[in-house]
Structure 1
Amino acid sequence: MIIGIDLGTTYSAVAALDANGEPTVLPNRVGELITPSVVYFESASSALVGTAARESGTVDPDNAVSLVKRRMGTEFELFFHGVAHTPESISALILRSMVEDAQAQFGRDGEPVRAVITVPAYFGVREREATYQAARLAGIDVLELLSEPVAAALHYGVTARRGDVVLVYDLGGGTFDTTVLRITRDGAEVVATDGDSRLGGADWDERIADLLVESFVSAVPGADPFDDEEFLHETRLLAETAKKDLSGRVSRPVTVRLGADRVAVPFDRAILERIGADLVERTLSVVTRLLADASGKGVQRVHEVILVGGSTRMPAIAAAVGERLRRSPRLLDPDHAVVRGAAIRAGQLADAARERSSTRSVVPRSFGVLIEDSHDPDGTRQMVVHTVHRNDPLPASRTTAFRTVMDGQDAVRIQIYEQAGELPSEEVADNRRVLDGELTGLPPLPAGSLIEVTLRVTEDGLLGVTAREPGTGTTLALEAYMDGVVDAETTRRLAGSLGAITVRR
């Protein structure tokens, strides 16, 4: 089986090409085209995934987990019924549920699955490696990790319009990213990308839920619902439903209940726009920064703007984007744009005649080498010299020569850092270490000896590093040890735990 998977922050989906080569979104076993990215642990050996998990979480929130995509690539551990889980293992359960549903629909239970899985364009090496690990834990052979904006471009069909420049505005449930694509003879080429991994429709939901709770407390003297997890969870679900309803309606009162108390809270588009105005502006500030980056790469005009992600159904989004960019954006099945594009890409990769270059992307974050600052009079300052830069075309490779600082060195420590903030910085605190190794077996070298360091980033955004002492030819190829990504021993433990869990819908 060859499929495309959109592993989303709030919702996930699966698609495949039909007999006519058209992408078709596959329903899960309960008939839904999108599956809530929620897992509820009934016990150490049984888990619910999707709508049933979200509903169970209303009653027992301590055993439910959502928005886990925001934690991908971080050291974050959760315990359910005495069993440890990570973002990778939680995501693996979501992936496994969707894959099993797809297999059942085609009557191919247990058949190996190959998939293109989408990730935000700004995902760095740790987040991408974590996604790979989640897929491996779910038993999926990953054909490619595809940037979500490129997938969206495939869905919208803009890759055939040679010479156009397209801006993709992707506001999902938990993440926001925006990308400038240049359409070339070979397909969609990412010029620049930017985003915010902590901004999405869930933030609007939280604002609405806060409004509902405050209105309830004001209307019911003495009410103190803030410690009632079931009430708060139910209110968040009401908030999400109300937000979605206002995409097609101007007003929609919301009834909030706690015990015998019931309060009807007025709610309309004007209120939604007011409480979310600063969130919209946050997305537009990222777009402005993106366009500045793209301008430095020769892009002076955007020909088309496409909206992706369910949260772009809010009318205020299209209005704000259109006003800021002075161009009416296109909105075409935003909930499924990414997964349909993933299915198209999976079909391309299954066809040996198609070249991978048709979806060229860029480096999501800058990578560099930790060095001693030779200009520091105190001799104590360290800095990161970025050699592969954000928005460099993929695949990227750069060899840079550095020099040793002490006489008699027979080993050199090689530490590679990745940009951690929104913008590159040489300050160590603004970066995070992703690779660490030692080039050993060298003869005692005089100070100032050359060490060549080559950084390579593949089309999938994964990092490889080689260090070489040219005099002797001694070489070190660093293993990809990612801080915040589970190691081999933990992977084996998680695989054992997941193998013992029955997934239900």
Structure 2
Amino acid sequence: MILGIDLGTTYSAVATVDGSGVPRMIPNRIGELTTPSVVSFLGPNEVEVGSVAKERRAMDPEGTVALIKRQMGTDYPLQFHGEPHTPESVSALILRALVEDARAGLTVPAGEPVQAVVTVPAYFGTSEREATQQAAEAAGIEVLELVAEPVAAALHYGVADASNRTILVYDLGGGTFDCTVLRCTDGSVAALATDGDSHLGGADVDERLGYTLLGQLADQLPAGADDPADDEALVQEVMSLSETAKRNLANKERHRVTLRHAGHVLRVEVDREMVATVSRDMIDRTMTIVERLLAAAGAGVVIDEVVLVGGSSRLPAVAQVLAERFGRPPLLRDPELAVALGAAIRAHRLAGAPASTAMFAGDSQAVAVLPRAVGLLVRDSYDPAGMREFVQHMVLANTPLPAQVTAPFTTILNHQRSVRIQVYEQAGAIASEDLEHNRRVLDGEFTDLPELPAGARVDVTLSVGTDGRLSVEAREVLGGGQLRLEAYVEGVVDGAAAKRLSATTSAMVIRQ
């Protein structure tokens, strides 16, 4: 079974390429084309995933998890019914639900292997990508590739078949924002530059609108009444109503919302202007990032087309501001589904599907760029005290992938038997060598050095694959030997924990 999976912050989706070569969505068991990325823990070995979990969140907010994608690549602590969980384990349950839906929809037996392209935000860093990989493997998926969401969307939109066109993909999802400049030439898609914000999306608009409505409700209550914002169940209900209102306002001017609290009822007409007001600064932030992206892409880059991806890109204000900036309306077609459909096209090709069933997969090539600079923590040899540390970036942001860079370093002690390697990744919008402007993503040690003298040269090679995953190698120049690296990725469970994660995930009963 070959799948394309969009593991989203608020909604996830799965697609395939059918026997006629046409990419198509696979509905879940209740007929939805997208599944809410929500998990509710009913007991130690039983969960609900999707719409039922989303509904339960209002009744059991403490036992329900949403927006977990924002915690990928962190050690965010979770515990339900006395059992510890991680962002990877929760994401694995969502992925398992998608795979089970796909098996049911395609009538594929349980024992058949699953191969999939899983998409990630273009701006995801090393830790987030590794966490996504582990979540997919824990769900029993053979990951063909982690593909950036805008690249997948471009494959679906067919812009890969365009001749010499430059596309801006504006991807405003439920929890993340990405923008990418793509160069499309005769079936290939090459990213020129990417930028984004992993904590900006439609969920923030829902929250802002929801608290605005709660404030209006509080204003109608008598003095001394309980603050409705303190009622967690009501807050979750209002957030859900806000999301529904936002979605409906993409196609109509007004939407009525009814709120009830402590015997009081408030009926509010939510209109496009209200949503535009609460989201204006967020959309402004996206445009600031777009301008930064265009500067990174280069002064000679001319945008031929703007493509909208992600459900939140349906906000009328988004199309308006982009049309004003680029002088033409953006292209909007199935923004919630484009990523999964494009991932299915990519998966079909990577799996080596027969040409007769891959008419839309073609020979398309997808070239991504590194979203954030990566490098090594080094000690300044010119510092008299030998204490100054900084990050020497080896692979710069927006370098085409795959990439490999080798740099020479030297030992600092006589008879040194090991070298500690710490890989750091750019944390802010601008690359900086200052430690506080980077985050550690890998910590390891090269061992078995032959008691080298101080100043002995060690060549370190950083490699980044097409999916943005990182590997490190080193060679001791004096003797010519390769060094063995023992390392772990920050914010991602280690090998032993990954096996436990896989066993725990496969034992869980999933209800939808």
Please indicate the TM-score interval, normalised by the length of the shorter structure: over 0.9
Tell me what 2:199 maps to: 198
Q: Could you state the TM-score of these two structures normalised by the residue count of structure 1? A: 0.96
Distance 1:236 1:436 in 2: 40
**Which digits, 9 at most, give the CA deviation of each residue in 1:299-320, with x for residues without a partner?**
4211111000000111100001
Partner of 1:162: 163
Of 284-293 and 422-431, the range deviating more from structure 2: 422-431
CA distance in 1, matches of 2:108, 2:507: 22
Match of 1:368 in 2: 375
Q: Which digits, 9 at most, give the CA deviation of each residue in 1:27-55, with x for residues without a partner? A: 10011111000001111121100000011
Matched, 1:282 2:285: yes
Alpha-carbon offset, residue 408 of structure 1: 4.6
CA contact (8 A) 2:476 2:483 kept: no
Q: Deviations over 1:307-348 (max 9, x none)?
A: 000001111000011112333210011110101101111111
Task: Output the aligned Cα RMSD.
Answer: 1.7
Which residue identity does 1:35 align to in structure 2? T
Render the CA deviation track for 1:78-102: whole Å, top value 9, x for unaligned.
Answer: 1111111111010111010111111
1:435·1:482 contact (CA, 8 Å) conserved in 2? yes
Distance 1:38 1:193 in 2: 28
Say if 2:505 is the partner of 1:498: yes
Distance 1:182 1:385, change over 3 A: same
| Aligned residue among 368, 390, 404 for 2:397 | 390
- Between the aligned partners of 2:135 and 2:418, the Cα distance in structure 1 is 36
> Is 1:485 matched up with 2:492?
yes
Equivalent residue for 1:16?
16
- CA deviations 1:339-360 (Å, max 9, x no partner) are 1101111111123678987001
Supply the distance in 1 between the matched residues of 2:424 and 2:4 (Cα, whole angstroms).
Answer: 31
| Aligned-partner Cα distance in 1 for 2:344–2:42 | 33
Candidates 479, 491, 500, aligned match of 1:472: 479
Identity %: 52
Q: Distance in 2 between matches of 1:134 and 1:128?
A: 10
1:87 is matched with: 87
Structure 2 residue matching 1:319: 3-state secondary structure: helix
Residue 297 of structure 2 aligns to which amino acid in structure 1? A
Q: Corresponding residue for 1:270?
A: 273
C-alpha distance in 2, partners of 1:47/1:449? 55
Question: Partners of 2:286 and 2:210 in 1: how far apart?
Answer: 21
Q: Does 1:234 align with 2:237?
A: yes
Q: Distance in 1 between matches of 2:452 and 2:46?
A: 59
Q: Within 5 Å, which residues of 2 pair with 1:96-107?
A: 96-107=96-107
Deviation string 1:423-458 (CA, Å, 9 cap, x unpaired) is 211111222222333334434544433211111011
Rounded Cα–Cα distance in structure 2 between residues aligned with 1:440 and 1:33? 50
Aligned counterpart, 2:263: 260
Supply the distance in 2 between the matched residues of 1:445 and 1:472 (Cα, whole angstroms).
10
Structure 1 contact 464–478 (Cα < 8 Å) conserved: no
Q: Which runs of 5+ in 2 are unaligned?
A: 356-360
1:436 matched residue in structure 2:
443
Q: TM-score, normalised by structure 2?
A: 0.95
1:479, distance to aligned residue in structure 2 (A): 4.5
Q: Is the 8 A contact 1:76 1:86 kept in 2?
A: yes
Q: Which moved more, 1:473-482 or 1:368-377?
A: 473-482
Whether the 8 Å CA contact 2:47–2:508 is kept in 1: the answer is yes
Q: Output the amino acid matched with 2:377.
A: L
Would the alpha carbon gap of residues 300 and 495 (structure 1) be closer, same or farther in structure 2, given more than 3 Å must change?
closer
2:122 paired with 1:121:
yes
Mapped partners of 1:17, 1:291: distance in 2: 34
Go from structure 1 to structure 2 and tell me whether the alpha carbon gap of 1:226 and 1:404 turns closer, same or farther (over 3 Å shift): same
- The equivalent of 1:135 in structure 2 is 136
